[in-house]
Structure formats: structure tokens, C-alpha cells
Amino acid sequence: MRSDMMKKGFERAPHRSLFKAMGYTDNELQRPIIGVANAANELIPGHIHLDRVAEAVKAGIRMAGGTPMEFPTIGVCDGIAMGHLGMKYSLGSRELIADSVEIMATAYPFDGLVLIPNCDKIVPGMIMAAARLDIPAIVISGGAMLAGECGGKTIDLITVFEGMGRLKVGEISADELKELEENACPGAGSCSGMFTANSMNCLTEALGIALPGNGTIPAIDAARIRLAKETGRQIMALVDQGITFRQFLSPEAFHNAVAVDMAFGGSTNTSLHLPAIAHEAGVDLPLTTFNEISEKTPHICNMSPGGPHHIEDLHRAGGVQAIMKQLAAVNLLHTQCLTATGKKMADNLQTAAVRDHEVIRPLDNPYHATGGLAVLQGNLAADGAVVKQAAVAPEMLVHEGPARVFNSEEEAFDAIINRRIQPGDVLVIRYEGPKGGPGMREMLSPTSAIAGVGLDKEVALLTDGRFSGGTRGAAIGHISPEAAEGGLIGLVEEGDLIAIDIPGKKLTLKVTDEILARRRKNWQPLTAKITTGYMARYARQVTSASTGAVFK
């Protein structure tokens, strides 16, 4: 056993003595030792209940003859960090989470590892660590929050963000906004739409690194606790069989994940996290793969923020396994991939079935003929930009308008909320990329404000930063190269014409090469926004969004 390095033989008597100081018995130390990475804290709604999930995992491990040893990781709630300095630290936390899990599973050579994340950067961070370690490992997330209800309508966190703009234009009162605030997030779990956390949790099933149901069983459902116990039992089976994490993460598995992502219309942030995970697994996953798979994968789920359905609806409709069964039927998935059940995907899908054909539409009656995401290129995004095309109004799929240029999210938000943006404008928010931000902030506040003031079908937003998985509208992010790296977005001036062609996958700044050459001679990057501490180091090490914003 791998754990013998720290527990077996007379020379490890001091080590055993230290374990006994914590109450472990000889019998427990003789068993396989399973690390349990638990991201529970009192700061994230999706993590407030993870201690109960961890207890169930540990019970499953003990039932199967192992000894669980739990340790924590950090976590940032993107919703609470949104719109202030804290959001600069969210994406950067992904690398710290990966590093911390790697450190713990190396300093303590576990025989296997169970990962218990739930929200935005914690899910990919833990998966990245397991890919680095390549030991037996499995994911069990905390599950989705239920949607809220107000005035007979289903609501979620995005309703509250957009309510800010609606209040500003007098569409709702302060009391009505307060009512939304009180009812949008009814309890524990990752926010209820197909935002980043739930997109990544659902993709654990497509990658084969979690048991079926992990992506959609609600946080408050007892089935989540039963799944946690089964996950604890299953890690022991993976240890017994010698199945390590990279055996799941084949190039075919990543293609499956992108196809499922396109089918359910996931967050644009999956285009950051899947390549970062692939990088750790030694698999090449360029952004062009997203377009290639999108072109042949129908968008068959209309999930919030683009549509009316929430994760609880997807679960009742058959979940991720039902989506995959439909895709597999027309050879859009590689079904011979090994999964965490110890079986191939084809075996797992035998019992899957669609139970609501409006939530999961047939492939011959999709919501859109192509996938939920699109990667755009052109002179303004030589290395790519990403948009959730399934959440863009038809009239904004092709658009040309004058640039309104802002060097920070705060400047843009102030202009939107104070009605200084006109129909047809193209907002350019720059110096918000991985290096320039630093940290590539999500910008749910400006996109929600645009929707709240009623301009989401008339105004586009472009940025070298990110948009939340809860964003809807013509919001194009991840523009690479970013402004801080000398990207063309840094040369845009007020009033320049910008052409957006989402079906044609084009993003063009309509300024002559001669004028751009003159501007480049005079260009100077902005002074670094953070000069000390972790994020200053992050800015020096991080790579482009087009490569997953991984470290050099």
C-alpha cells in the first residue's frame, strides 16, 4: 500500500506513535488510508453542509474496510466576492486549492483520495490536484441549491443581481428587491442554475470521475448522503483494483465533457477549467476543440440563466446520465471510457432514461442546433474569446457598434447603472484578465445591471476578464491576448467600431492596421493593481485565459 511509506516497519514506530496520539488504533493503521479533502466552511452556501457529506463518505470508507483521514481546503463564494476586491482572488484560489491537496496527499501518502468540493474554483482545483497525483481518487460534490420562489415565479441568485438594475430604473421597489433577496436562495447548495459550480459538478459525470447523480442530486436530498456513502465504498474498490485518476482522464473523456457541456449550455468558465484539468492530466485540449464539438452537438437543455429550468428540474428529468444516453445514441460520445463506477460509460448508461422531454429535449428538436458555447476569433481576439451563445438574444448574435472603453469593472458598472450607456454600444472592459486584473474577475454585476436596465438585447459587453456562469446576453469574455500582455483590446479607443458575429465565430475591431501600429507605439500598460502578496506572485506566473490560466 502507498500509505506503508508512513506507517509500516519498525522504523515507522515514531510515525505510528503520532497517529496514536490522535486516537488511531493499530487495526485502523493496518487498513488502506483514504484522504478525505473536505472544503466545508461557514462562508459558502454550497459548502455549509459539507461536513455531513464528509461524515457519510467516511462511513462508506469504514464499511468497505478503510480508514478515512479528513483535511480541509480553502474556498471562495464567487457571489459574495462579486463586485469588490475579493473577486480578484477567486480564480487564483484554484491554484492554491490544487497545491494544498497535492501537498497533503504527498506529505501523507494516502492509498486513495475522496474530493468533496461544491462551488466554482474548488471543484476544478481539487480535480487538478488528483490529476497531478494520479492515485485512486473520486469526486462527491455537495449538490445544488433548490430554486427560490417569489410571487408565484421561480427565481434564483441571478434574479437578485438583475433586480439591482430593475430598481435603478424604477421597475421594482426597494421592498420588492428585498423580497427577492429573502427568497432567491432558500438553503444549502451550489446556486441553482447551470452556473459555473453546477456546470463543473455535472461534468464530473461526463469525465467519469464521480458516480452517476453527482451533478444533479439536490443538496438537501437524502439521496446525496446515500451517494456519499457509496462514494466512500467505491474509493475502496478503486484502490483494490489499482485504478488511478488519470485512467479516467483520457482525451476521449475530455471530448465527452465538452460535448455534454455543449448539450446543457454550461458556463463559459468551463473553457478555463477543462483545459486546466487536461493540462494536469497531460492531455491537450485547445479552445478550438470547443467549436469543433459545438458544431455537431445540439443544445438540448434550456437552463438558467438562459432559460427557465434549474438543476432540480434536470435531476427529475433524468440528470446528466440521460443527456449522455441521448448523445451516445448518435455517436457523439466515446462510451468505452472507464468511469469511477469501475465500469465503462456504456454500462452506466444502460439504465439511464429521459423522464421530461421539455427539460431534456430530443436531439431532433433541440433548443439550438449547435452547442451552448462558442469560441470567437479575429483581430480583437487572436487567441480566442468565449461566449455562452445559448444565452444570447437572437437579435444580438450579429452586432456592430461603437466601443465604450473602461479600464475596470467598477468604471463600467458606474456607467451602466447611471444610464450613460446607449442602445447599440459595445462596452469594452479591459485590464481585467488573469495578469491585468489580476485574477480575471467574474463580472456578474455589470452584466446583471445591463439586463436589469433592459439593455441586454441592445448592448454587448467584451472583456479580457470573465463573466459569471449566471450571465446572459451578448457577454464575450476571456479575450486573449489580454490588455496587460499587449493584446489588441488594449488599443481600442472610444468610438471605434467593433463587429460581433457569433454564428461566424468572429470578433473584429474595425480600425486599420496603420492606425493600430501608431497606437501601439504609444501604448503603455497600466500600473499593476496589486503589488504585494499572493496575487502579485500570481500575476507574474499566470498564463493566458486561452490556455486555462494555468501557471507557467
**Active site positions, annotated:** 468
Query: DSSP class of residue 5?
Result: G
Task: Kindly state the greatest CA–CA separation across the chain.
Answer: 76
Query: DSSP class of residue 525?
Result: P
Q: Which three cell numbers stand for residue 3?
A: 500509505
CB atoms within 10 A of CB 186: 17
Relative to beta strand 506-509, strand 497-501 is antiparallel
CB atoms within 10 A of CB 237: 16
Contacts of 316 (CB under 8 A, 6+ apart): 355, 356, 359
Can you tell me the distance from the alpha carbon of 363 to that of 311, in angstroms, rounded to the nearest whole number? 20
Closest C-alpha among 215, 34, 241, 247 to residue 131: 247
Give backbone dihedrals phi and psi of 12, rounded to 5 degrees, phi first: -105, 15
Query: DSSP class of residue 3?
Result: G
Q: Can you list the pairs that 404-408 forms with residues at least 24 positions away whose Cβ atoms lie under 8 Å? A: 404/428, 404/494, 405/430, 405/492, 405/493, 405/494, 406/430, 407/431, 407/526, 408/432
Contacts of 23 (CB under 8 A, 6+ apart): none
Q: Which residues pair with 114 in a beta bridge?
A: 36, 138
Can you tell me the distance from the alpha carbon of 345 to that of 209, in angstroms, rounded to the nearest whole number? 11
Can you tell me the distance from the alpha carbon of 20 to that of 138, in angstroms, rounded to the nearest whole number? 27
Can you tell me the distance from the alpha carbon of 136 to that of 130, in angstroms, rounded to the nearest whole number? 8
User: What is the gyration radius of the CA atoms in the chain, in angstroms?
Assistant: 23
Which helix (H) or strand (E) covers residue 509, if one does? Answer: strand 506-509
Helices (H) and strands (E) in the chain, counts: 20, 14
